[in-house]
Structure 1
Amino acid sequence: MSLLFVYGSLKQGFPNEHVNTGRRVAGQYRTRERYPLYLLGEGEVPCVLTPAGSGHQVIGELYEVNDGDLQRMDRLERIGEPQGYERIEITVERFDVAAGEALSVFVYLKQECFIPPSTQRIGPLAEYRAEHTARFHWIGAA
């Protein structure tokens, strides 16, 4: 089993939750480092960009996932495709308890250098919320 941190449409109650077949881990989690989280393009697709160091500690959910879970989400996030995301390891921390633990987890993100400068951006945001989904539209491979 691996741990996966999700911050956008793969969260519970969000448009692509049906693709996330992992088991949610109790607690509230955020990235240890600051990252820019933007809503990109006309579809206002949530995307964390690298490198780290600007933006916010991004808030999201943590899931235990197996290889099959990751394969389904990798297809949705278009891993290995030119406009797709990358799955990398980062550190997240639990922040709803006094001595929150730090964990090494997978996350989907994109490199800033691959986002065209003309791309519409909203943010940076600390958290992708339900109200942000009103204009969300993107069709990945499910």
Structure 2
Amino acid sequence: MADSSDDDSKPHLIFSYGTLKRGFHNHKLTKELISQDDAVFIGPYITRHTYPLVCGPYGLPYLINLPGSGHRIKGELYAVSTPGLARFDELEGTSIGHYERLPVELVNVDKDGVVPVEAEAYFAHRSFGEAMWERSGKEGLSQFTEIEATRYVKRQDRPHQGRNILEDVRHFVSGN
């Protein structure tokens, strides 16, 4: 990833806390981007502040933009090119309001007392994030692990194939 004064060539720092992490289902996209020189693994990071992290329909992890609630979240930091970011945005459904990419402050897990790093993460869209937190009983995770991943349902294996994921989220938060 070449670096120049043009904003499109500067890497975007993306915090992965769920299925894009190493060893999880959607990491295949991350690996593909790494092989194309569109992403680089930087290391394990944790949020500087606490946030809710819950699992929603199909075992999908959702970080919720309610700083001060939940836990400090463990994940991985990647430097991603602009084309790579577009691929992540597509997977995360930013254009349909499933997730939204928002700023987050991180600190390196392996280095105490280091200056925080400004990155972005995919948060549950504001239209349902708080309702997702309420639906979870305001009980959250500190990280998405193999245990939670056992509940993950691949897109092609989900019921209601004709239904938009946002409809499934609405049903989930309403308790149906």
Give the whole-Å Cα distance in 2 for the aligned partners of 1:71 and 1:97: 30
Aligned residues: 137
Structure 2 unpaired stretches of 5+: 1-10, 34-38, 157-176
**Mapped pair 1:76 → 2:86:** no
Which residue does 1:88 correspond to in 2? 102
Aligned to 2:146: 130
- 2:153 aligned partner, one-letter code: H
- Residue of structure 2 in register with 1:97 after alignment: 111
Partner of residue 54, structure 1: 69
- CA 1:60–1:139 in structure 2 vs 1: closer, same or farther (change >3 Å)? same
Deviations 1:11-43 (A, max 9, x none): 0110000122221003x31111110000112x1
User: 1:51–1:112: 8 Å Cα contact kept in structure 2?
Assistant: no
CA distance in 2, matches of 1:135, 1:95: 27
In structure 2, distance between residues paired with 1:95 and 1:10: 18
The amino acid across from 2:62 in the alignment is: C
Aligned to 1:35: 51
Partner of 2:41: 24
Equivalent residues of 1:50, 1:110 under 8 A apart: yes
Other-structure match for 2:174: none
Distance 1:59 1:108, change over 3 A: same
Residues in 1 aligned to 2:128 and 2:46: alpha-carbon distance in whole angstroms: 24
State how far apart, in whole Å, the 1-side matches of 2:12 and 2:18 are: 19
- Compute the RMSD of aligned alpha carbons: 2.3
> Equivalent residue for 2:81?
66
* Percent of aligned positions that are identical: 28
- Cα displacement (A) at 1:138: 4.6
Indicate the SS of the match to 2:67: coil
Give structure 1 regions of 4+ aligned residues with deviation exceeding 6 angstroms: none
